[in-house]
Amino acid sequence: MSPRAPLRTNHVGCAVASSASPFAGGRLFAYVEGTTVEIKIGVQHSARELSLDTELSAEEVEKAVSAAITGKSNVLVLADEKGRKVIIPADRLAYVEIGEPTARRVGFGAL
């Protein structure tokens, strides 16, 4: 077995084993860009829950939810990882489930 070649970064930021071409024998690895938190929101009088992934930390989401519930804000506003905003009237919140932070992977190939 030959020793592994050192890794380099290609034009899109993926770590690639050195070779003539990343697609000609080079091994592609997933590139970790950041973390996301999954949020599930129950809305009163709605059969389905809202689910979104956000780049906010769990603490930031908790502060926004607390502000909406305690009356400091009339609405809960959260943005997902693509920049779309979800706006929910605070008096219609049934529950908010905040997941654990997970690494968001960008790239191709096996690790």
Domains of the chain plus CATH, in order, are 1-31 (no CATH), 35-104 (2.30.30)
Q: Mapping DSSP to helix (H, G, I), strand (E, B) and coil, where does residue 34 land?
A: strand
Q: What are the residues facing 54 on neighbouring strands? A: 37
Q: pLDDT tens string for the chain (111 positions)?
A: 445 545 555 555 555 544 444 444 555 555 556 788 999 999 999 999 999 999 999 999 999 999 999 989 899 999 998 899 999 999 999 999 999 988 766 665 555
Is-contact 61 86, C-beta < 8 A? no
Q: What b-and-e string marks burial along 74-96, b requiring 16 or more CB atoms within 10 Å of the CB?
A: eebebebeeeeebebebeebeeb
Compute how many other C-beta atoms are within 10 angstroms of the C-beta atom of residue 37: 20
Q: What is the pLDDT of residue 103?
A: 77
Q: What is the pLDDT of residue 35?
A: 84
Q: What is the pLDDT of residue 37?
A: 92
